[in-house]
A = this chain, B = another copy of it.
Amino acid sequence: MNKAQGAMSYDELRGAIAQRHRALSGRLQQIAEFVLDHPTDVALGTVAEVAQRSGVPPSAIVRFAHALGFGGFTEMQQVFRSRLVAGVAPSYKARLARMKSEEKSVLGRQPAAVLSRFVSEAQSSLVTLSQSVHARELDAATAILAKARDIYLLGLGGSFPVATHLAYVLRKLGRRVVLLDGTGGSIHEQSHAATGEDALVAISFRNYYPDTARLFPELVARGVPTISITDSLLSPIVEGARVVFEIQDMPEPALRTLVAPMCLVQAMAIGLDLAAD
């Protein structure tokens, strides 16, 4: 009623409700309690649904929103929805918005600010990684690698660093590795010896490197067990893969730090080594 609630976080709203609870009328108190106990219902439901579940008429819900300073139910609902999106993607939108604004400010142009931006970007990509990769996939991947005679690595363009890193670690651990880098001629020749006894790890992000998209199906067709690391289930290296690791929210090519895939391949390699004992 009195306070102008422009943009409000969910936690702030909780505090505000708790504070005013005593001052509210009977019905409104009842709604306050329901709303604090069932934030998800408020976020996703309609006025009628919330009204029914909390046992009050729809108009009371709207009055409640008004009493809190919102223009209406819809406005209040936005705050509850923000809590949901925060739960799945740690401040994805906020991050983007912050980057956009910083980019244009004078501060954002200083190298030090650029570094801290990439650091925080990398941090959140690591959080996402550990959330989105499931144990089952990792187990399956290491099982494939454990049985392989030779391990073929396919990662070109922007993904090449990931492939070289995996190659390095696997070789350190005594595995036989063929890095498909296309030096000294066609990449087809390098992969010509691959069979079902071997294994392939393919890495590719948007925009998918043409050679990768071309070679991958050939190897799959030849029966080579395949592990794919990519950023979308629609990428050209998904179909036919035994295991797919999807790493979401990859920024545009020039801005990606490759932190998440680097960590992932590292864990695959070391996990393989530990499981072998």
* Chain A residues proximal to chain B, CB less than 8 Å: 14-15, 17-18, 21-22, 29, 32-33, 36-37, 40, 43-44, 81, 83-85, 87-89, 91-92, 95, 99, 108-112, 114-119, 122-123, 126-127, 129-131, 133-135, 138-139, 141-142, 157-158, 160-162, 164-165, 168-169, 172-173, 183-184, 232-234, 238-239, 248, 253-255, 257-259, 262-264, 266-272, 274-275, 277
Contact = CB atoms under 8 A, between A and B. Distances in A.
A121 to B, nearest CB: 9
Nearest to A162: B161
20 contacts: A18-B233, A18-B238, A21-B233, A21-B234, A44-B85, A84-B87, A84-B88, A110-B139, A110-B271, A111-B267, A111-B272, A111-B275, A114-B267, A114-B270, A115-B263, A117-B267, A118-B267, A161-B168, A164-B164, A258-B262
Contact of A114 (B17, B239, B262, B274): B274
Given A36-B233, A115-B130, A233-B14, A81 B44 contact: yes
Q: Counting chain B CB atoms within 10 Å of each CB, which of A22, A119, A157, A169 scores highest? A: A119
Contacts of A272: 111
Given A266-B118, A270-B255, A32 B111 contact: no
A115 B264 contact: yes
Interface SS of A by simple majority: helix
Contacts of A270: 114, 118, 254-255
Nearest to A133: B115
A233 B112 CA distance: 21
A234 B33 contact: yes
Contacts of A117: 267
A266 to B, nearest CB: 5
